[in-house]
């Protein structure tokens, strides 16, 4: 059984969802049940099919949006996905921008 991850306003949860064609990233404040920011390969700024390059781009953009909201630490929630490929690329790109988890 998987442990339930919770995010707060101080340390929100970055949730990753992958479909066959796209990858989605949402930053969630679980205490207030609010999505602080979200981005996906469907977004107008990226609009590509999911691959490692697109995942890196999403990671960088999510990190920049978090910095604008003065958030430097997050909880990383990969869902049922293995930490490999696109999920790993997104996580590493987010870390490179200075977000800690």
- Domain residues for the domain of 50 are 13-96
CATH number reported for the structural domain that contains residue 22 in this entry: 3.30.420.100
- Of the two residues 9 and 98, the one the predictor is more confident about is 98
* pLDDT band, residue 9 (cuts 50/70/90): confident
| Residue 39 maps to a domain | yes
Tokens describing residue 60:
């960088």
| Residue 24 maps to a domain | yes
| Residue 8 maps to a domain | no
Q: How many domains does the chain have?
A: 1
Residue 90 reports pLDDT greater than 80: yes
Does the CA dihedral 6-74-52-45 come out positive or negative?
positive
The CA distance from 85 to 36, in Å, is 25
- Of the two residues 3 and 85, the one the predictor is more confident about is 85
Instruction: Report the pLDDT value the prediction gives residue 2, as an integer from 0 to 100.
Output: 62
Q: Mean pLDDT score of the chain, rounded to an integer?
A: 93
């Amino acid at each position: 059984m998987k442990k339930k991850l919770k995010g707060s306003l101080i340390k929100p949860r970055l949730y990753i969802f992958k479909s066959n064609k796209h990858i989605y990233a949402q930053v969630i404040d679980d205490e207030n049940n609010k999505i602080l920011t979200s981005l996906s390969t469907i977004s107008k700024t990226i609009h590509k099919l999911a691959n490692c390059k697109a995942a890196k781009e999403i990671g960088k953009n999510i990190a920049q949006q978090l910095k604008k909201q003065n958030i430097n630490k997050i909880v990383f929630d990969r869902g049922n996905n293995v930490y490999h490929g696109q999920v790993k690329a997104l996580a590493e790109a987010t870390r490179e921008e200075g977000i800690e988890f």
